[in-house]
Amino acid sequence: MLCIPLNIAIIYFSGDGNVKDGGTSEYIEFFRRMNPEMWTISNLILLAVFVEHGIIFLKIILQFLIPDVPYSVVI
Protein backbone atom coordinates (compact mmCIF):
# COMPACT_ATOMS: atom_id res chain seq x y z
CA MET A 1 0.00 0.00 0.00
CA LEU A 2 2.91 2.33 0.60
CA CYS A 3 4.26 1.88 -2.91
CA ILE A 4 1.21 3.38 -4.59
CA PRO A 5 1.54 6.95 -3.22
CA LEU A 6 5.29 6.90 -3.67
CA ASN A 7 5.10 5.76 -7.27
CA ILE A 8 2.34 8.25 -8.09
CA ALA A 9 4.46 11.07 -6.66
CA ILE A 10 7.53 9.98 -8.60
CA ILE A 11 5.62 9.69 -11.88
CA TYR A 12 3.66 12.87 -11.32
CA PHE A 13 6.45 15.18 -10.26
CA SER A 14 9.30 13.81 -12.32
CA GLY A 15 7.17 12.77 -15.28
CA ASP A 16 9.01 11.21 -18.16
CA GLY A 17 12.30 12.76 -17.16
CA ASN A 18 11.84 15.97 -19.14
CA VAL A 19 12.10 18.45 -16.30
CA LYS A 20 11.86 22.07 -17.36
CA ASP A 21 14.18 24.87 -16.29
CA GLY A 22 11.89 25.79 -13.40
CA GLY A 23 12.08 22.27 -11.99
CA THR A 24 8.60 21.20 -13.11
CA SER A 25 7.72 18.11 -15.11
CA GLU A 26 5.83 17.84 -18.39
CA TYR A 27 2.66 16.79 -16.52
CA ILE A 28 2.61 19.91 -14.37
CA GLU A 29 3.36 22.13 -17.36
CA PHE A 30 0.49 20.48 -19.27
CA PHE A 31 -2.03 21.36 -16.56
CA ARG A 32 -0.67 24.88 -16.15
CA ARG A 33 -1.00 25.51 -19.90
CA MET A 34 -4.67 24.54 -19.76
CA ASN A 35 -5.69 26.98 -17.01
CA PRO A 36 -2.84 28.64 -15.10
CA GLU A 37 -5.10 30.33 -12.51
CA MET A 38 -6.73 27.06 -11.49
CA TRP A 39 -3.69 24.77 -11.43
CA THR A 40 -1.63 26.12 -8.58
CA ILE A 41 0.88 23.84 -6.88
CA SER A 42 -1.59 22.99 -4.09
CA ASN A 43 -4.27 22.00 -6.62
CA LEU A 44 -1.74 19.87 -8.48
CA ILE A 45 -0.82 18.08 -5.26
CA LEU A 46 -4.50 17.50 -4.52
CA LEU A 47 -4.94 16.05 -8.00
CA ALA A 48 -2.07 13.62 -7.34
CA VAL A 49 -3.67 12.64 -4.00
CA PHE A 50 -7.05 12.01 -5.66
CA VAL A 51 -5.43 9.87 -8.37
CA GLU A 52 -3.56 7.93 -5.70
CA HIS A 53 -6.74 7.33 -3.70
CA GLY A 54 -8.53 6.20 -6.86
CA ILE A 55 -5.84 3.63 -7.59
CA ILE A 56 -5.93 2.36 -3.99
CA PHE A 57 -9.74 2.08 -4.21
CA LEU A 58 -9.43 0.12 -7.47
CA LYS A 59 -6.83 -2.16 -5.88
CA ILE A 60 -9.12 -2.91 -2.93
CA ILE A 61 -12.07 -3.69 -5.23
CA LEU A 62 -9.94 -6.04 -7.34
CA GLN A 63 -8.63 -7.67 -4.17
CA PHE A 64 -12.17 -8.61 -3.15
CA LEU A 65 -13.20 -9.73 -6.65
CA ILE A 66 -10.27 -12.09 -7.24
CA PRO A 67 -10.24 -15.03 -4.83
CA ASP A 68 -7.06 -15.94 -2.99
CA VAL A 69 -7.56 -19.66 -3.51
CA PRO A 70 -8.86 -20.96 -6.84
CA TYR A 71 -12.17 -22.80 -6.78
CA SER A 72 -10.57 -26.03 -8.08
CA VAL A 73 -8.22 -26.07 -5.07
CA VAL A 74 -11.06 -25.53 -2.60
CA ILE A 75 -12.89 -28.57 -3.96
**6 confidence band (pLDDT: 50, 70, 90):** confident
Domain ranges of the chain: 3-74
pLDDT in tens, 22-75: 666 777 778 888 888 888 888 888 888 898 899 999 999 999 999 888 888 888
pLDDT score for 19 = 63
pTM: 0.70
**Three-state SS sequence of the chain:** CCHHHHHHHHHHHHCCCCCCCCCCCHHHHHHHHHCCCCCCHHHHHHHHHHHHHHHHHHHHHHHHHCCCCCHHHHC
**13 confidence band (pLDDT: 50, 70, 90):** confident
